[in-house]
Structures are given as structure tokens and as C-alpha cells.
């Protein structure tokens, strides 16, 4: 019959259609009958042949730009790729309640994918941020066909990371909860955040935003490390997880750096498969862990910092999902970008054996300094007034775009009367800090509660004071994150503040600066210096906070220092991340 297509012409037409729109929208059934919407990318020209699958779950739209690009990337390399909307988001059925349903749903997605005729039965997962957490929640349910994971900036160290950091509420979640309040991501740029974020209490601000009915009450009502958050943490589960994982984190990630390291360190310490854990940490912010760049926050790190993460992840999947020699077996188990010297290093392990070097906070002759010598006698305290109505804040506006990725230069801190900066003398030799710094702080307040916000800075000869690490602690949470212990007004109390992990070299001529204050706005909500639920606080009090030094109250910064810079096993090649 005239006009009838030959089999060859039909095949060519199918390939053309696949290339024009390579996605198939499908539904994935959950055990409770809920259907999750997913996009399926099958390799062409033979979409029916069983191949390994890569799964990505997200609350930010399964058809987002990143998901589409990644889907096409794997489709062209002989993989099936599945991106799905998490429960209650996008086109998926069910109620959106952040973090709660991801484990069981993720298990069901992995097992459904593995059972399909186009899948070989080997399934890997990938994802950034929430997509990283989604993988760990899935892994805890131990789906039999989960073969490996690529985890980028994954959350999961709940209440020591997010949404409260050691008792301090991350006001960033005002933006986040607003953005996810409906099934499709809301634009945050149209609102007057300058007015909104100054509103107290936080609960009224969130109510005025029309926050998500499931997610916001969980954050509002569970402001301590209670059974809700303990039930989400994997602390007791890592010993059962035998999944190979590529862990990727960024030194400048203010959201989930602590979570990413928590997953990695826990797997190394407890998993039956520590030999199959890889760690890559670069000079990147949160999203930069998946899409690395050569510079950030006004600092140029060089082209070597911009790893080709697509091909790094591909080589990882080729090794575990296809069993082919992609060179992954010879990859360094630990690859760290060393800021300060701006080079990749590959020590044998993260948190290498290092000396805990004390730098004591001193106040003598009107000068605040960092000294190696322990104070031999009493020294007067250094006091400042913390006014919640005039918090320490990042210069510029409070819109999401303006504050999300600020400059690393924090020299503005030295200009405020409510920030105490302790400075070392200029260094005569390079100093490598690698690990978790912590501050042992002796302090008092004339209020029942306050906060401590601490930043470790690198002050260079050019006058720039670059952020290296930071940490915070709500005073009433000093003994436990599960309950509050009010301060005794005026009584000297010991606090321990954890700073985020670092790998940084302070160069000769540079100074170490430790900045101590009581606010970091707008990333964190303001503490009103009152006991009680943080998000309910209003009518702020002005606190007189004092830091103590000297015998019996020797406040001290403990640094994990590696003295010999050139005594390490080797230096990772930036080229190993590219193809």
C-alpha cells in the first residue's frame, strides 16, 4: 500500500521522537496505594533492553532543568534514569510533609524500578540537598536492589544542623517553607523580605506567609531533639548500611556541610562497608557541590576547583552499576580542596591524626588577642551588649537572592561594638588546620538565655577577613538539645561551640581571627534573650554578655593542627575528575 513506512523508517521516526522529547511520564505505586509521578528516560535506539537505572527523588520538580539535563546525560550513556516528585509535591499524590515519608517511598521506587523489564536490577541513586537526604532515608529501609549512592550535600544531622543548629533556628527556613508551601515551587522574589524577617515572633511571620500546613508545624512544634527528630536520624542505622557511596560536600555550604560529614564519618565508623566510601570536599557553596565553579564569594580558587562532577559521578556508577573498568577503583578515597593554598590534597583519611592546638582568648591592655600561652592569672572579662533589634547582619538586603550566598569577606564584623574579635599575631610559618575546630567558652549574661555565634577568619595582609569556619549555640541548650536549662544571671558558665569542619592553610603574614557575638541575621533568627520556644519569642530584651579569660575561666579555641605541611601522602590531580 502506498505510503506505508518500512520498519527502518519506523525505527528512525521513533528515535527522532525520543531525541525530541526523551521523557516518558509514568506513575510509580507506593505500598499504601499512593502514586508518585516520575519521568522515565530510556536509552535509545533500543529502549527495551535491560540496563542499570539511576533514580533521583526531589520536592523541587522532577522536570527541573537539572533533572532534565541529568536524565539526558544518562540516557545517552546506556542507563535508564528516573526522576520523581516526592509525595505531595509536583504531580505526585499524597500530603507533603518534608522528610517524613521519604524512606518508605524511596524504598518502593527503587524496588519498582528494579522489577521493570527495562532495568537490569541494579539501581543507583543520586541527588543534591533534599535529594541527598532522600537517598539516606531510602537506604535506611534497605531496598535489596539499591546498589550504590551518589550523595551531594545531604541533610540528616537533624537539630545539630537543620532546621535548628544547636538550638538556634535557621531563619533560612522561612524562605524554604514558603517556597514549598504548594505543589509547585513558589517564587520568593516578589515579597518584602526586609519587612517580613524583622517581624516578631517568627510564628506570626510564618502564618502571614501561609506556610506549608504539614512541614511548618513540624518545625514549629518540635524545637528540641525529641522523638520526632530522633526518629528521622540514622544514628542507629549506619551499622546496617552496606551501600557504596560517593559523598560530596562543600566547605562553604551553610546548609548541609554538617549533615554530609555526619553521613560520611558515621559510615566510616560503623558501616560494614567502609572500604567503599569516597569523600570529595571542594571550595563550594551548597548547590556548588553538584555544579562546581572556580570561584565563590569573591575568592578565585582556580580552574582546578571546578571538577567535572557529571563524569566523576558517571565513573562511580560505571564501576558499581555496570562492573566495568572506569578507573574508579584507583580514585583517592579522600579528596580535599585545601583553601589557603588552593590545591587538591588526598590524605589517607579525613580527620587525620593531628595535635589539638589551644589558642587562648586574652584581654590585656585593652587588646583582645589569641595566644598559645595559657593565662597565668586573672584577666578582666570583655563585655558587649546584644540588642535583638539591631542584630549582626550580612551587608545588603534580605531578599533570598541577596543573602543566600554572601561574600566570604567578613571584615564588617570588626566594625561592630557587639562583636569581639580576638586576633593572633601574624604567622611566621604556614599553619594547616584540618578537622573540627571547637571553642571552649566561659561566659555570662544578665539574661536567662542568649546565643553564641562564632566565626574563624583568615585576616590577610590585604585587609580582607575571609570566613573559614563558623558555629553557634543557644545558651539554654548547652547541656542538652532535648531540654532547656536557663542561665543564672551573671554566673560564669562553660559552653562548648562546635565549628564546621575545615581544611585550610593560614599562610605566613596572615592572622587568625576569632569573632564572637550573639547573632547572625538573617541566616539565623534573632534570640530575644528569653527562655522558651525560639519561634514564639517577642518583646526582645537587651543582654549584657561577657566573655571570660584567665585562670579558672580560660576561654580557648581548640584547633586540629597538622604541623608538617609536606608530610602527607599525596596530592590529588584535578584532571582525575574530568573526561
Tens of pLDDT, residue by residue over 383-397, are 999 999 999 998 887
CA distance linking residue 275 with residue 495, whole number of Å: 36
Alpha helices in 36-129 (DSSP H): 65-75, 102-114
Q: Is the pLDDT of residue 569 over 50?
A: no
Pairwise CA distance, residues 361 & 122, whole Å:
55
pLDDT of 386-431, one tens digit each? 999 999 998 887 777 777 788 999 999 999 999 999 999 999 999 9
* Spans of all domains in the chain: 25-293+302-338, 355-562
The model scores a pTM over 0.75: yes
Range picked from 11-20, 70-79, 558-567 for highest mean pLDDT: 70-79
What pLDDT sits at residue 101? 97
**Contact at 8 Å (CB) between 443 and 555?**
yes
CA distance 260 to 219: 21
pLDDT tens-digit readout, 156-203: 999 999 999 999 999 988 889 988 888 887 777 778 888 889 999 999
Helix (H) or strand (E) holding 137: helix 130-140
The DSSP symbol for 461 reads T
> Is residue 571 over pLDDT 50?
no
Q: Which residue has the higher pLDDT, 577 or 262?
A: 262
Confidence of residue 17 (pLDDT cuts 50, 70, 90): very low
Report the C-alpha gap between 428 and 430 in whole angstroms: 7
Q: How confident is the model at residue 13 (pLDDT cuts 50, 70, 90)?
A: low
Distance CA 185, CA 254 (A): 21
pLDDT, mean of residues 449-459:
98
* Mean pLDDT rounded to a whole number for the chain: 92
d(Cα 430, Cα 507) in Å, to the nearest integer? 5
pLDDT at 498: 98
331 pLDDT more than 80:
yes
C-alpha cell at 19: 531525541
Band of pLDDT at residue 283, cut at 50, 70 and 90? very high
For residues 68 and 58, the answer to whether their CB atoms sit within 8 Å is: no
The pLDDT score that the predictor gives to residue 570 is 43
pLDDT at 31: 97
Confidence of residue 337 (pLDDT cuts 50, 70, 90): very high
pLDDT at 359: 97
Give the pLDDT mean for 537-554. 95
pLDDT number for residue 463: 96
Q: How confident is the model at residue 247 (pLDDT cuts 50, 70, 90)?
A: very high
The residue that leads in pLDDT, 192 or 256, is: 256
- pLDDT at residue number 19: 53
Most distant CA pair in the chain, distance: 104
CATH code given to domain 25-293+302-338? 3.40.50.1820
Question: What pLDDT, on a 0 to 100 scale, did the predictor assign at position 267?
Answer: 98
pLDDT band for 16, please (50, 70, 90 cuts). Answer: low
Give the pairing type, strands 146-152 and 502-506.
unpaired
pLDDT of residue 22: 64
Q: Does domain 355-562 have CATH number 2.60.120.260?
A: yes
> What is the pLDDT at residue 405?
83
Beta pairing class for 119-128 and 502-506: unpaired
d(CA 80, CA 84): 13
The x, y and z cell numbers of residue 356, run together, are 589539638
- Split at pLDDT 50, 70, 90, the class of 576 is very low
Question: Would you state the pLDDT for residue 148?
Answer: 98
**Using 50, 70 and 90 to split pLDDT, how confident is the model at 10?**
low
Q: Report how far Cα 292 is from the mean position of its chain's Cα atoms.
A: 15
Q: What integer pLDDT is reported at residue 189 of this predicted model?
A: 73
> With 80 as the cut, is the pLDDT of residue 564 above it?
no
In this prediction, residue 524 carries a pLDDT of 95
Asked whether the predicted pLDDT for residue 565 surpasses 60, the reply is no
Amino acid at each position: 500500500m502506498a505510503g506505508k513506512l518500512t520498519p527502518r523508517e519506523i525505527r528512525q521516526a521513533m528515535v527522532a521522537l525520543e531525541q525530541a522529547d526523551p521523557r516518558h511520564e509514568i506513575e510509580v505505586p507506593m505500598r499504601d496505594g499512593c502514586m508518585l509521578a516520575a519521568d522515565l528516560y530510556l536509552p535509545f535506539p533500543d529502549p527495551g533492553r535491560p540496563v542499570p537505572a539511576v533514580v533521583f527523588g526531589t520536592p523541587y520538580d522532577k522536570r527541573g532543568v537539572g533533572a532534565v539535563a541529568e536524565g539526558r546525560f544518562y540516557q545517552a550513556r546506556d542507563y535508564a534514569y528516573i526522576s520523581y516528585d516526592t509525595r505531595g509535591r509536583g504531580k505526585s499524590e499524597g500530603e507533603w510533609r518534608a522528610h517524613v515519608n521519604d524512606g518508605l517511598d524511596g524504598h518502593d521506587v527503587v524496588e519498582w524500578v528494579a522489577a521493570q523489564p527495562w532495568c537490569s536490577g541494579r539501581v543507583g541513586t543520586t541527588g543534591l540537598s533534599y535529594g541527598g537526604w532522600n537517598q539516606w532515608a531510602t537506604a535506611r529501609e534497605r531496598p535489596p536492589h539499591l546498589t550504590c549512592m551518589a550523595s551531594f550535600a545531604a541533610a540528616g544531622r537533624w537539630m545539630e544542623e537543620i532546621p535548628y543548629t544547636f538550638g538556634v533556628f535557621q531563619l533560612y527556613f522561612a524562605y524554604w517553607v514558603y517556597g514549598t508551601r504548594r505543589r509547585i515551587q513558589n517564587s520568593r522574589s516578589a515579597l518584602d523580605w526586609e519587612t517580613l524577617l524583622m517581624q516578631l515572633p517568627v510564628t506570626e511571620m510564618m502564618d502571614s506567609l501561609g506556610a506549608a500546613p504539614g512541614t511548618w508545624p513540624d518545625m514549629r512544634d518540635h524545637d528540641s531533639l525529641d522523638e520526632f527528630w530522633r526518629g528521622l536520624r540514622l544514628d542507629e542505622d549506619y551499622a546496617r548500611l552496606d551501600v557504596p557511596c560517593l559523598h560530596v560536600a562543600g566547605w562553604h555550604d551553610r546548609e548541609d556541610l554538617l549533615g554530609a560529614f555526619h553521613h560520611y564519618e558515621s559510615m566510616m565508623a560503623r558501616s560494614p562497608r567502609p572500604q567503599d566510601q569516597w569523600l570529595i570536599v571542594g571550595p563550594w557553596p551548597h548547590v556548588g557541590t553538584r555544579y562546581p565553579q572556580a570561584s565563590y564569594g569573591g575568592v578565585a580558587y582556580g580552574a582546578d576547583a571546578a571538577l567535572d562532577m557529571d563524569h566523576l559521578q558517571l565513573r562511580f556508577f560505571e564501576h558499581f552499576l555496570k562492573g566495568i573498568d572506569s578507573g574508579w577503583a584507583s580514585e583517592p578515597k579522600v579528596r580535599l580542596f585545601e583553601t589557603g593554598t588552593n590545591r587538591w590534597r588526598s590524605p589517607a583519611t579525613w580527620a587525620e591524626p593531628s595535635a589539638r592546638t589551644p589558642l587562648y582568648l586574652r584581654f590585656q591592655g585593652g587588646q583582645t588577642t589569641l595566644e598559645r600561652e595559657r593565662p597565668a592569672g586573672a584577666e578582666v572579662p570583655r563585655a558587649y551588649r546584644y540588642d535583638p533589634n539591631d542584630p549582626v547582619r550580612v551587608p545588603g538586603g534580605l531578599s533570598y537572592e541577596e543573602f543566600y550566598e554572601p561574600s566570604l569577606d567578613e571584615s564588617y564584623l570588626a566594625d561592630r561594638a557587639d562583636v569581639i574579635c580576638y586576633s593572633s599575631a601574624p604567622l611566621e610559618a604556614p599553619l594547616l588546620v584540618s578537622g573540627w575546630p571547637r571553642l571552649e567558652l566561659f561566659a555570662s549574661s544578665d539574661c536567662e538565655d542568649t546565643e553564641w555565634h562564632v566565626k574563624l577568619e583568615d585576616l590577610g595582609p590585604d585587609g580582607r577577613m575571609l570566613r573559614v569556619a563558623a558555629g553557634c549555640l543557644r545558651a539554654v541548650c548547652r547541656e542538652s538539645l532535648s531540654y532547656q536549662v536557663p542561665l543564672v544571671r551573671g554566673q560564669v558558665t562553660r559552653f562548648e561551640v562546635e565549628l564546621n569542619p575545615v581544611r585550610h592553610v593560614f599562610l605566613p603574614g596572615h592572622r587568625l581571627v576569632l569573632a564572637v557575638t550573639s547573632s547572625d541575621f538573617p541566616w539565623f533568627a534573632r534570640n530575644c534573650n528569653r527562655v522558651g520556644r525560639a519561634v514564639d519569642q517577642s518583646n526582645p530584651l537587651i543582654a549584657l554578655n561577657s566573655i571570660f579569660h584567665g585562670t579558672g575561666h580560660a576561654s580557648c579555641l581548640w584547633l586540629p593542627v597538622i604541623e608538617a605541611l609536606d608530610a602527607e601522602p599525596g596530592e590529588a590531580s584535578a584532571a582525575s575528575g574530568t573526561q
